[in-house]
């Protein structure tokens, strides 16, 4: 088991510096343009593919880092460059992780390469879970998957929303209800191959922030996928459903807690994204405060500005420490007895919103214009307290974990 440390090793430092260079030289110069265009930055994704960042191999290497710091380190550097472009680069990973977590070896080998394509023909993938009436409340999901035994096909119907890369993806991973009586335990995940009839893009959302990342509805109308597109296979699904039915009366809570542990383990990565955005805004504000003069001296000489910057840096470092702790715990198998995963995501997300707002304030009128990047960073930061579980949901998870009570 890797010991917890705050010092990156030489290999990690090399990867960090490489990612930082890509973020500084490729992502950040393109950020304003693609934010204004509100389009997927295909040229930047292609550049990431050429150097090996946009690939399953890269993320697998970071995921299997024994210290647990590979993924948060990578997320922080990429999102330091720009949140919208970075999400376009890492968004396919959501679908890939869905296949890795639930798929067979054959499914992993077949579909994940199709999610990424190659440097000459990059592809993206979409993970489709949220619905108009089922975001945090996954038990309210309405998308249905019905098995047609005669044809060995699953028929999917429903509407997904807030899907990163939804509708433009080469491969969609769709979560659907196969047994409504089991609530969230009656869900299964399906691969929808390229050009499958019945799948279409619905509304594309015009967002407040992360505008370079494509977010849209995905509409499924009598979408038929072969039986082998059920992740994990039907035998495994039937066994899992049977166990869920048996436990419905006496063991349901154990199943629920196991699912919660899976969600907890993914949240530090979002926290790392927030840390990257906050750090970027802080650095801009610090540089500005050192060079902007008023009344004959740099504004950082004023205690009101200097104390804001001191608080900003302290909060960013505290957020990173929470993220690293949770990431290390998840990798080394230590249980989140105090909902440490949710803690990291909650604090880092709130820190990003606060720090980017302070950066705008320090830049004054300039911070309110698009001539300076803190305006965009402030808009981008708003998403962190919303996706992957809102701040309110994180507080609920933490409170329930600490108290052992069904707080509502």
User: What are the catalytic residues?
Assistant: 388
What gap in Å lies between CA 65 and CA 35, rounded to an integer?
32
What gap in Å lies between CA 388 and CA 118, rounded to an integer?
28
Distances, alpha carbon 55 to alpha carbons 46, 115, 117, 187, in Å:
11, 9, 9, 28
- Taking a C-beta distance cutoff of 8 angstroms, is the pair 174, 190 a contact? yes
- Taking a C-beta distance cutoff of 8 angstroms, is the pair 124, 56 a contact? no
What is the separation of C-alpha 212 from the centre of its chain, rounded to a whole number of angstroms? 15
Helix, strand, or coil (residue 204): strand
* Segments of 24-152 assigned E as strands: 117-118, 121-122, 125-128, 144-148
- DSSP class per residue in 251-312: THHHHHHHHHHHHHHHHHHHHHHHHHHHHHHHHHHHHHHHH-EETTEEGGGSHHHHHHHHHH
Query: Is residue 378 within a helix (H) or strand (E), and if so which, with residue range?
Result: helix 374-381
Bridge partners (DSSP) listed for residue 126: 172
Range 30-37 contact pairs with CB under 8 angstroms and sequence separation of 24 or more: 30/82, 30/85, 31/81, 31/82, 31/84, 31/85, 31/212, 31/373, 31/376, 32/370, 32/373, 32/376, 34/82, 34/84, 34/85, 34/211, 34/212, 35/82, 35/84, 35/211, 35/212, 35/376, 36/211, 37/212
Both ends of the chain: CA-CA distance in Å? 37
> Among candidates 272, 274, 276, which has minimal Cα distance to 325?
272
What is the total residue count of the chain? Answer: 408
Give the Cβ contact number of residue 393 at 10 Å: 18
């Amino acid at each position: 088991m890797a010991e917890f440390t705050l010092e990156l090793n030489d290999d990690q430092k090399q990867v960090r510096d490489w990612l930082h260079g890509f973020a500084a030289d490729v992502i950040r110069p393109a950020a304003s343009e693609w934010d204004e265009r509100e389009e997927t930055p295909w040229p930047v994704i292609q550049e990431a593919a050429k150097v090996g960042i946009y690939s399953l191999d890269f993320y697998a290497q970071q995921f299997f880092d024994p210290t647990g710091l590979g993924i948060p380190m990578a997320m922080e550097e990429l999102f330091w460059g720009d949140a919208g472009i970075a999400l376009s680069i890492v968004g396919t990973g959501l679908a890939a992780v869905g296949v890795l977590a639930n798929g067979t070896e054959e499914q992993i080998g077949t579909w994940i390469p199709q999610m990424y394509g190659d440097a000459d023909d990059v592809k993206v993938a979409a993970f489709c879970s949220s619905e108009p009436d089922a975001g945090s409340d996954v038990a309210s999901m309405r998308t249905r998957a019905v098995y047609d035994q005669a044809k060995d096909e699953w028929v999917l119907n429903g509407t997904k929303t807030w899907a990163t890369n939804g509708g433009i993806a080469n491969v969609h991973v769709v979560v659907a209800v196969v047994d409504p009586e089991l609530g969230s335990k009656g869900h299964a995940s399906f691969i929808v191959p390229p050009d499958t009839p019945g799948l279409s893009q619905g509304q594309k959302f015009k967002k407040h922030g992360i505008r370079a990342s494509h977010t849209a509805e995905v509409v499924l109308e009598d979408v038929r996928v072969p039986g082998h597109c059920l992740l994990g296979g039907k035998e495994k699904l039937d066994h899992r459903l049977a166990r869920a039915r048996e436990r419905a009366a006496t063991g349901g809570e154990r199943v629920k807690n196991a699912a919660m542990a899976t969600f907890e383990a993914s949240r530090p990565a979002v926290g790392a994204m927030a840390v990257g955005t906050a750090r970027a805004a802080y650095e801009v504000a610090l540089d500005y405060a050192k060079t902007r003069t008023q009344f004959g001296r740099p504004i950082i000489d004023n205690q009101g500005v200097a104390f804001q910057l001191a608080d900003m840096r302290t909060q960013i470092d505290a957020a990173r420490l929470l993220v690293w702790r949770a990431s290390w715990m998840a990798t080394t198998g230590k249980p989140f007895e105090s909902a440490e995963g949710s803690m990291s995501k909650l604090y880092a997300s709130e820190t990003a919103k606060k720090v980017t707002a302070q950066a705008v304030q320090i830049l004054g009128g300039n911070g309110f214009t698009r001539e300076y990047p803190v305006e965009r960073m402030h808009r981008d930061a708003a998403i962190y307290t919303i996706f992957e579980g809102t701040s309110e949901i994180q507080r609920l998870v933490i409170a329930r974990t600490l108290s052992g009570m069904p707080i509502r």
